[in-house]
Structure 1
Amino acid sequence: MENRNVSLLWPSEASKEKYMDEIRLSERCKTDLGVDKIVQSLCIKQKYADGIERLLLQLCDDTDVISYRLDILENFIGLPDMTGDLEDMLPFIQKLESHNSVKHVSGEEPLRKIAWQLEILSLYTECVLKLHAVLVQYKSRLSAEGLLRLLQYTEELTASDHFQAMAAELPEFRKKLQSMSSVTIGINLDNELKPTEAVFLSIEPKPFKEHKRSLVSSILGLKSVDQSYQGISLFHSILQNGGSALESALFKDLESLFQAAILPIGSALGKYIHVNIPAITMLELEIGFFAGAAKFIRKLSELELPMCKPQAAPPSERTCQIDNMTDYILSYSLYRKHQEINLGRSVVPNDIAFGPQGRVFILTGPNQGGKTTYTRAIGVAQILFQAGLYVPGTAARISPVDWIFTHFSEEEKPNVNNGRLGEESKRLSEIFAKATGSSLILLNESLSSTSPADSLYLARDVVKGIKVIGCRAVFATHLLELAAGVDSINDEVPGDSRLVSMVAGIEGNNADARRADAMTKRTYKITPGSPMGMSLGKDIAQLYGISFEQIMDTLHKRSLTGDE
Structure 2
Amino acid sequence: MDFPSSPDLNHVEAGILDRAASLYPDTFTALTRYRAEHADFVDPVIATFDREVQFYLAYLEYLEPLRSAGLPFCYPVVTDSKAIRATGTFDLALAAKLVRDGMEVVRNDFELSGPERILVVTGPNQGGKTTFARSFGQMHHLAALGLPVPGESARLLHCDRVLTHFEKEEDLQDLRGRLQDDLVRVHAILGEATGASIVILHEIFASTTLQDATVLGRRVLAEIAERDLLCVCVTFVDELASLGEATVSMVSAVDDAGRPTRTYKLSRRPADGMAYAATIAAKYRLSYDLLKERLSR
Same fold (TM over 0.5): yes
Mapping for residues 302-321 of structure 1, pairs under 5 Å: 302-313=68-79, 315=80, 317-321=81-85
- 2:202 paired with 1:444: yes
Partner SS state of residue 318, structure 1: coil
- Work out whether 1:370 is the aligned partner of 2:112: no
Deviation string for 1:297-324 (max 9, x for gaps)?
A: 23211111111112221x3x13432221
Figure out how many residues of one structure are paired with residues of the other and give that number: 276
2-structure distance, mates of 1:355, 1:412? 36
1:413 equivalent to 2:170? Answer yes
Structure 1 pair 178/319, CA: closer, same or farther in 2 (3 Å)? Answer: same
Q: 1:425 aligns with which of 183, 201, 221?
A: 183
Residues 521-552 of structure 1, C-alpha deviations (whole Å, 9 max, x = no match): 32222222111232436625744xx5679xxx
Does residue 379 of structure 1 match 2:137?
yes
From the two aligned structures, give the one with the greater strand fraction: 2
Equivalent position of 1:536 in the other structure: 276
Letter in 2 for 1:274: E
The residue type paired with residue 262 of structure 1 is: P
C-alpha contact (below 8 Å) 2:256/2:278 kept by paired residues: no
Which residue type is aligned with residue 93 of structure 2?
I
Indicate the residue corresponding to 1:456 in structure 2: 214
Q: C-alpha distance in 2, partners of 1:388/1:528?
A: 29
Question: Which residue identity is paired with 1:486?
Answer: L
Do the aligned residues in 2 keep the contact of 1:414 with 1:423 (CA within 8 Å)? Answer: no
Q: Which has the higher contact order (CA 8 A, sep 6+)?
A: 2
Please give the secondary structure, in 2, of the residue aligned with 1:305. coil
1:502 maps onto 2:260 in alignment: no
Could you list the structure 1 runs, at least 4 aligned residues long, displaced by more than 6 angstroms after superposition: none
Q: What is the Cα deviation at residue 441 of structure 1?
A: 0.8
**Structure 1 residues 460 and 431: CA distance shift in structure 2, 3 A:** same
Structure 1 distance, partners of 2:18, 2:269, is: 82
Give 5+ residue unaligned stretches, structure 1. 1-88, 97-114, 117-176, 182-254, 491-497, 512-517, 554-564
Q: Is the 8 A contact 2:75 2:149 kept in 1?
A: yes
Pick the structure with greater CA Rg.
Answer: 1
Deviations along 1:81-139, one digit per CA (max 9) or x if unpaired, are xxxxxxxx9x65xx59xxxxxxxxxxxxxxxxxx99xxxxxxxxxxxxxxxxxxxxxxx
Shift in Å, 1:180: 4.6
Matched AA of 2:52: E
Q: Does structure 2 retain, via aligned residues, the 8 Å contact 1:541–1:547? A: yes
Q: 1:293 aligns with which of 59, 62, 75?
A: 59
Partner amino acid, structure 1, of 2:254: I
* CA distance, structure 2, for counterparts of residue 326 and residue 357 of structure 1: 25
Residue 380 of structure 1 and its aligned partner are, at CA, apart by 1.0
TM-score by length of 1: 0.45
Q: Where do 1:120-139 residues align within 5 Å?
A: none
Alignment-mate amino acid for residue 310 of structure 1: P
Please point out which of 14, 25, 37 is paired with 1:262: 25
Q: Which residue of 2 aligns with 1:352?
A: 110
Distance verdict in 2 for CA 1:269–1:412, change over 3 Å: closer
- Are the aligned partners of 1:328 and 1:381 in contact in 2 as well (CA < 8 Å)? no
Aligned-pair identity (%): 28
Identify the range of structure 1 (460-469 vs 347-356) with the bigger mean alpha-carbon deviation.
Answer: 347-356
Is residue 307–residue 392 contact of structure 1 (8 Å, CA) maintained in 2?
A: yes
Secondary structure of residue in 1 paired with 2:140:
helix
1:299 aligned partner, one-letter code = P
